[in-house]
Amino acid sequence: MIAAEKQLIQKDAFAAPLYQAGFSYLLKSKVTSFRLSPYGTVAYYWDIKIK
């Protein structure tokens, strides 16, 4: 039984996300310096410039 549990945990187990949030943005070509975080759905609004 212990060997079976070890195999399940060490070899057969995997992790998968259950939910991944997402956003979409429509930006005009006048908007520059709009940055998104590569690690999630965080947008950085403090550097935005409009030409």
CA pair distance 25, 27, nearest whole angstrom: 6
Phi, psi of 30 (to 5 degrees): -75, -20
pLDDT tens, 2-29?
888 887 777 777 777 787 777 778 888 8
Residue 36 sits at φ, ψ, to 5 deg, of -115, 145
Q: Residue 39 domain-assigned?
A: yes
Within-domain flag for 42: yes
Has residue 10 been placed in a domain? Answer: no
Structure tokens that stand for 30 in this block: 């006048």
Cβ-based neighbours of 39, under 8 Å, separated by 6 or more: none
Enclosing domain of residue 41: 27-51
The predicted-structure confidence for 26-51, as pLDDT tens digits, reads as follows 888 898 888 887 776 677 888 888 88
The pTM (predicted TM-score) of the whole model is: 0.41
Please tell me the predicted confidence (pLDDT) of residue 30: 92
Domain membership flag for residue 41: yes
Total domains in the chain come to 1
Return the pLDDT at 41. 67
3-state secondary structure of 44: strand
How high is the pLDDT of residue 20? 73
Task: Examine residue 22 and state whether it is found in any structural domain, yes or no.
Answer: no
